[in-house]
Structure 1
Amino acid sequence: MTAASSLDLLHPTLTHHVVNTLGWPALRPLQREALAPLTAGEDAVLLAPTAGGKTEAALFPLLTAMARDGWDGVSLLYVCPLKALLNNLLPRVQSYAGWLGRTAALWHGDVTAAARRRILRDRPDVLLTTPESLEAMLVSTKVDHRAFLGGVRAVVVDEVHAFASDDRGWHLLAVLERLTRLCGRPVQRVGLSATVGNPRDLLTWLQGSGAGTRPGRVVAPGVRPPTAPPPDQGPPPGEVELDYVGSPENAATVIAALHRGEKRLVFCDSRQLVERIGAALRARGTTVFLSHASLSVDERRRAEQAFAEARDCVIVATSTLELGIDVGDLDRVVQVNAPGTVASFLQRIGRTGRRADTTRNCLFLALHEPGLLGAAGLLRLWGRHWVEPVHPTPEPRHIVAQQLLALCLQESQVGERLWAEWWDGLEPFGHGEPVLAHLLREGFLTRDGGMLLVGPEAERRFGRRHFAELTGVFTAPPEFTVLHGRTEIGRTNPALLAAAEPGEGPRRLLLAGRSWAVTWVDWKRRRCFVDPVDDGGGSARWDAAGHTGWSFELARAVREVLLGADPPVKLTRRAADALAKARDRHADHVHADGTVVTRGGGGVRWWTWAGTRANLTLRATLTGLVDPAQRVGDTGLRLCGDTDPARWRAVREAAVDRVALPQVDDRALEGLKFTAALPRHLAERTLAARLADVAGARAVLAEPTRFVVGE
């Protein structure tokens, strides 16, 4: 399709503004190729790197269809995983809709009640929202959900890969199925995604119950199919460097000294590390801003706005800034240690190189040996053009329980033989009868004349603020709000607020990159009040956010590095020296054709290089051979002291065909929201399936093993 003929598919007014207001001589390839299928009503996944024009590729054809077919009322939903991303997108979407005389509005948890009332009174044509807010509209007594949402024709799901890889994805699909039934017609689904390894599977997942019955396609011009590249293909474009610095303070020294006068975005893998590096940069006189999930909304907005308007500065963030939030024109990305996936790295490096005279770039700063090896392994995978496939979380029974309760709230009562029709065969609901039986048995639901109603146990556990707890699918550990006067700074772990020992003085917190002295703690209302202090010394702490360790593929790439393969990037002398030391230390732990068992002063250890989930699966499978009490990591397992080659071979060969799921403890169950609405054995099976890597465990069991004595 030529540029001219593609513009002919757009509404004439849109074409005028694309050429004259935006100043575009033509659409980008993705935008051209998306026009025909989207204006024809097809489902689609649009694939492009960061800043690839995906939003316009979805909105321009859907706005064309809206004008052409006379869509009325709230007819287009734009769903994002982050409220900040919605805030960022709103002005752009309002402009595009306004060109056609249409309106757009924002509805999420930070939108005021007055603004929501205006939206209900004057319905916009395009509504930007989150899945949780969409659920809240469906169950709210203040929203006539049939009148308000019954005219929806299409849904755009931005960052769809981020949804698909966790429970929010199943929640979103379940809510879209209920919405489709309300509308009484198929609702077009369009997903926007960065590069993933299995885009066709992602499209099938997004289509939900409509997969196989509705037309759909992947639109990905210029994106290489997820197959192995030719042997002579070099790494992807970009200036990437790997350095070893040894500590957060050294990282701050390097960041402060390099690329002065430029705008730098630094990614860290924890909130504690963001705070520590942010404080160290501020102590070195660098203009620095912070962004992570435990900072207040206003604090993050101030930081992001100031960073967008400044030049010589640094913003330090967790993955909150990985997605497409606009923080202005970046010069540099710095990655401390390594992200968990190649897909995350592609998102992050894609924040740079957007100007015509610049190149995508990323500097890795490793703080320790695991960080160095993880970065080197990830860059090996990136150099091969490999990207992880996106897999939905398995066996989401707790989402089935949540949805049954939410549907009964939405409809007041639901026929006990008709409830499944609301999800039209969507995979998790095909086996929902045991979950329903438990909800009835425990009083979460009651039965009256063949109808299902919300029961007293659901009222007791989830009924506060009209069941607000039901709209989110993740649990959050209790945190205390930190206030300076009336200004909220953020939230902290209550363990940091315990009374100080005599003579220690007041407790000090590290938050927003500054140290604060705690002046008073309101334990009942979970608030603490603070004053700033200039001499540092604050502490930052939050509960870990469910890190699952290296994947099987990443662990194997790390093994390649230890066997001598360098990542296809520039290595500083410090990084090269640290890699050489790591290779020496692990010389007896790696073998190119299989795994290694070592016996020595450290006991008997099996070096699998299989990743945490595969190793958890192997620990559950090789009972009697593997120490059951050990803490499992990425590199291997501790074996019982009497393990010898003969016993090893016998147990391993017998285990290949009976791989077991990992065991689940009570603390893990507490992290699964709506566990109380499931029978314990089903909750345990759900979590065990998520902790397992059966394919990786089987691959390891099938490999030969070398025994090394005298480590």
Structure 2
Amino acid sequence: MSSALDPVLLHHIVNTLGWPDLRPLQRDAIAPLIAGEDALLLAPTAGGKTEAAIFPILTRMAAERWTGTSVLYLCPLKALLNNLEPRLGRYADWTGRRVALWHGDVTNSKRRAILAARPDILLTTPESLESMLVSANVDHRAFFAGLRAVVVDEVHAFAGDDRGWHLLAVLERLTHLIGRPVQRVGLSATVGNPTRLLTWLQGSGTGTRPARVVAPDLPVLVPGESAAAVPTGEIELDYVGSLQNAAKIIAGLHAGEKRLVFCESRQAVEELGSLLRGKGITTFLSHASLSVDERRRSEEAFAEARDCVIVSTNTLELGIDVGDLDRVIQIDTPTTVASFLQRLGRTGRRPGSIRNCLFLARDGDALLEAAALLLLWGRGWVEPVIAPPEPRHIAAQQILALCLQEHRAGDQTWPQWWNGLAPFDRSADPTLRHLIDQGYLDSDGGMLFIGPEAERRFGHRHFMTMTAVFTGAPEFTVLVGREELGRVDPALLTEEVQGDRRLLLNGRSWRVTYIDWRRRRCFVEPADGGGKARWTTGGWSGLGFELSRAMREVLLGADPPVKLTRRAIDRLAQVREDESSLVHPGGSVILRDHRGDDLRWWTWAGFRANATLAATLTEAVDPIQRFDDRHIRLRENVTPAEWRALIADAGQRLCLPEVSKKALDGLKFSQALPERLALATLAARLADLDGADAVLGESVRFVHA
């Protein structure tokens, strides 16, 4: 046990927690965090990362006599914050410090109490932090005056999308506000590029502040950049053919055990939950369209029960505690190795237990994808976490938020608030000019103010819509009496039906009794079966380059290092036979069907690389049916000679994919950008130049079916 920790903390770690020693990560994190260094702490799920961060920070807090709200603890999910509050509150209480929770579900009375007596540690989300900065009810200069450190839990969940850019921008504004840098500590379980992720987290402090990656439990498996867990666990891959068969297997296996089942869609969660309940299995559900109360009740009941199942989307992938699990079951496959590692890490936490996961594939494609993902996992590979390129729309949102926060900003000095961090610097000048030209901002006397267009578009509920950088699909709230059950896709309420209109929500069927179109609500009562579930998925879907390439390897004969059931072996053999003409070991295949009117280039390069190739080779690509993860459809009259001429210099003229203007609806704040810049942002995010270049460097074989 390290004597560098505060003596009071040490006493409680030994006597209250009963720990004979700290874990390696917890020991190794003490010195750099007490020294004030920025750090990225990496360990498998349930590896003690929270304690590794908070024990040294509490020690530093006591030694340096920090006052006021000196630590922010940021999480991507409100449920995760709720889960952490009692644990962190206990640790802080040992040293006479206080913890408080601030997010969208916290009542106004509790917020007023926090503002009146500031806690030492505030648990919140970046969106709620932004709300505090722009709120007229919060004296943000006084409230954050004592800030010394920020802990970002599940940092990879931020860094891979626009919430990460928003997080960085808000942290930069905070450091400018208080006039000094703030220690930044990231916690993560699954990253393939830890050094780059730490550099990203440091923001404008990169190169000027000491920083280190602390990962004693994650050996470097790939020289330079890798921090994947050593592949261990009891993993089995099965082929079941349907969700009904999956329900039979789940109902018949592991009686008396607690099972967490992951599905890749809310619809599958609802349908499987209903099937399991129909078989007499105690079943709970969790997904983003269930109400907060419904999810909380499910998670609490599941944590206390034993012989039961909880069916979930990725809402339970992160570190929300649902008690000791016996089994994880995966329907089909997640789209990343990182997600699989998070899910696998939910098991094996009890002494004497091991990590385990049973994959149940519903069709041949899902079986192939699962085998490919497990092939990558077996090699210790995990995806790098890379921030989306060119977040111009976030720069627009931040300029507006700054004007709302400060009431006015200098038209020449505004970039100082982000301490030189791109893209919140002078590179955003074209965006600023557009904001002024379109009335989002007013300019007068060298100062910028919120303009009438920003008031019109974002002013509802005190600009609350401006603090979130993602857009959700419109949904109707479902009510049973006065109690909210969840939300459903409007299409379920508008499609033509015979007889009663019935919904499937929380694994049960409901009859719609009344629809309030103006307020987007519908009222329901229980029904005996017949309910339907459906939600619209927004944005681009598709697999990455590495996973698509691994699928090609599986078709060529590679097997993942896991147990395959006889059903899986037989079905995989059939898939290999059926698709044998679509792969060859020397490169890619261009296949013409027996009729001669269908010509496809089987690249196995993933959605983004194929989008890039299709944009680059427009002369050869079918303009209507273009591409997916695996292939690009070519014009039927392309000959081998023409093809060779077209790709001769294609690697030197790669193009960004074309983007439909309709796609701008999914990019929040896109209307605050010039249309050409909004389209350029989406095009950059859809491209995979490296993957496209790799495919062009391979040989291509023309064959006939």
Give the TM-score range, shorter chain: over 0.9
> CA offsets per residue over residues 36-60 of structure 1, 9 Å max, x none?
0000100000000000000000000
Match of 2:566 among 552, 560, 573: 573
Q: Which residue of 2 aligns with 1:113?
A: 108
> 2:368 is matched with which residue?
373
**Alpha-carbon separation, structure 1, partners of 2:229 and 2:392:** 44
Corresponding position of 2:548: 555
1:363 aligns with 2:388: no
- Residue 525 (structure 1) aligns with: 519
Which of 471, 476, 479 aligns to 2:472? It is 476
Pairs aligned (count): 699
Q: Match for 1:123: what amino acid?
A: R
SS at match of 1:71: coil
Q: CA deviation at 1:270?
A: 0.6
Indicate the SS of the match to 1:432.
helix
Q: How does 1:23-38 map to 2 (within 5 A)?
A: 23-38=18-33
**Change beyond 3 A, Cα 1:172–1:136:** same
State the SS of the aligned residue for 2:515. Answer: strand
Identity of aligned residues (%): 67
1:210-258 per-position Cα deviation (integer Å, ceiling 9, x unaligned): 00000000000031215079xxx99711000000111111111111111
Which ranges of structure 2 fall in alignment gaps of 5 or more residues?
none
- Corresponding position: 1:193 with 2:188: yes
Distance verdict in 2 for CA 1:605–1:631, change over 3 Å: closer
Name the structure 2 match of 1:516: 510
- Aligned residue for 2:11? 16
The alignment status of 1:596 with 2:592, answered yes or no, reads no
Following superposition of structure 1 onto structure 2, how do residues 271-286 of structure 1 map, counting pairs within 5 Å?
271-286=266-281
Report the Cα distance in structure 1 between the residues aligned to 2:626 and 2:408, rounded to whole angstroms.
Answer: 47
Give distance in 2, aligned partners of 1:144 and 1:579. Answer: 62
Aligned residue type for 1:129: T
Does the CA-based 8 Å contact 1:334-1:365 persist in structure 2?
Answer: yes
Give distance in 2, aligned partners of 1:114 and 1:361: 44
Query: What is the aligned partner in structure 1 of residue 578 from structure 2?
Result: 585
Q: Please report how far the alpha carbon of residue 591 of structure 1 lies from its aligned counterpart in structure 2 after TM superposition.
A: 1.0
Moved more, 115-124 or 628-637: 628-637
Residue in 2 that maps onto 1:435: 431
Instruction: Tell me which amino acid in the other structure corresponds to 1:656.
Output: G
Inter-partner Cα distance in structure 2 for 1:234 and 1:543: 34
Letter of the 2:571 counterpart: A
Question: Distance in 1 between the 2:286 and 2:379 partners?
Answer: 32
Does the 8 Å CA contact 1:619/1:628 hold for their aligned counterparts? no
Post-superposition CA distance 1:604-659 (Å, at most 9, x none): 11100001111111111101101122253111111101111100111011211111
Q: What is the correspondence of 1:160-175 to structure 2 with a 5 Å cutoff?
A: 160-175=155-170
What residue is the counterpart of 1:506 in the other structure?
A: 500
Q: Does the alignment pair 1:308 with 2:287?
A: no
Of 337, 340, 349, 1:345 maps to 340
CA distance in 1, matches of 2:106, 2:499: 40
Cα deviations by residue, 1:112-131 (Å, 9 ceiling, x for unpaired): 11110111011100000000
Asked if 1:126 corresponds to 2:121, the answer is yes
| Contact 2:85/2:101 (<8 A) preserved | yes
Does the 8 A contact of 1:234 with 1:383 survive in 2?
no
Contact 1:500–1:506 (Cα < 8 Å) also in 2 = no
Q: Which amino acid aligns with 1:676?
A: Q
- Checking the alignment, whether the CA contact within 8 Å between 2:589 and 2:603 is kept in structure 1 is yes
Whether 1:495 and 2:488 are equivalent positions in the alignment is: no
| Residue 446, structure 1, aligned to residue 418, structure 2 | no
Name the counterpart of 1:77. Answer: 72
- What amino acid maps onto 1:533 in structure 2? A
Partner AA of 1:511 in structure 2? L
Find the counterpart in structure 2 of residue 385 from structure 1. Answer: 380
- 1:538: which partner in 2? 531
* Match status 1:687 vs 2:658: no
The amino acid across from 1:579 in the alignment is L
Deviation at 1:102, TM superposition (A): 0.5
In 2, Cα distance between equivalents of 1:52 and 1:599: 52
Offset at residue 381 of structure 1 (A): 0.2
Name the amino acid aligned to 1:159: E
Aligned to 1:458, what secondary structure does the other structure show? helix
Contact 1:43 1:190 in 2 (8 A): yes
Q: Which amino acid aligns with 1:495?
A: A
Q: Name stretches of at least 5 consecutive residues in structure 1 with no aligned partner.
A: none
1:545 CA displacement: 4.1
1:434 alignment partner AA: P
RMSD: 1.3
Cα-to-partner distance string for 1:245-298 (whole Å, 9 max, x where unaligned): 111111111111111110000011110111111111111111000000000000
Query: Equivalences for 1:195-274 in 2 at 5 Å?
Result: 195-227=190-222, 236-274=231-269
Structure 2 length-normalised TM? 0.98
Cα shift at 1:546: 3.1
- What whole-Å deviation, never above 9, does each CA across 1:78-132 have from its counterpart, x for those lacking one? 0000000000000001000000111000000010111101110111000000000
Q: How does 1:610-629 map to 2 (within 5 A)?
A: 610-629=605-624
Matches within 5 A, 1:288-299: 288-299=283-294
C-alpha change, 1:572 and 1:464, in structure 2 (3 Å) is: same
Give, in angstroms, the shift of residue 675 of structure 1: 0.7
Once the two structures are TM-superposed, the CA of residue 206 in structure 1 deviates from its matched residue by 0.1
Give the superposition deviation at 1:153: 0.4
SS in 1 for 2:435: helix
CA distance in 2, matches of 1:199, 1:548: 26
Partner of 1:486: 482
1:512 is aligned with what amino acid?
N
Q: In the alignment, is the contact (CA less than 8 A) between 2:473 and 2:538 conserved in 1?
A: no
Larger mean CA deviation between 357-366 and 593-602 belongs to 593-602
Amino acid in the other structure paired with 1:529: F
What is the distance in 2 between the residues matched to 1:390 and 1:345? 15
Segment drifting more, 126-135 vs 220-229: 220-229
Contact 1:228 1:384 in 2 (8 A): no
Q: Which amino acid aligns with 2:671?
A: A
Runs of 4+ in 1 over 3 A off after TM superposition: none
Alignment CA distance shift 1:331-1:228 (3 Å): farther
Following superposition, the deviation at residue 666 of structure 1 comes to 2.5
Q: CA deviation at 1:547?
A: 5.0
CA contact (8 A) 2:218 2:230 kept: no
Q: Which residue identity does 1:532 align to in structure 2? A: P
Query: Structure 1 594/500 Cα, relative in aligned 2: closer, same or farther at 3 Å?
Result: closer
Which whole-Å CA distance do the structure 2 matches of 1:555 and 1:674 have between them? Answer: 32
Task: Give the whole-Å Cα distance in 2 for the aligned partners of 1:679 and 1:210.
Answer: 31
Cα distance in structure 1, aligned partners of 2:579 and 2:372 = 15
Q: 8 Å contact 1:132–1:471 — kept in the other structure?
A: yes
The residue type equivalent to 1:518 in the other structure is V
* CA distance 1:228–1:272, shift in 2 (3 Å): farther
Could you say what secondary structure the match of 2:424 adopts? helix
Cα distance in structure 2, aligned partners of 1:70 and 1:359: 43
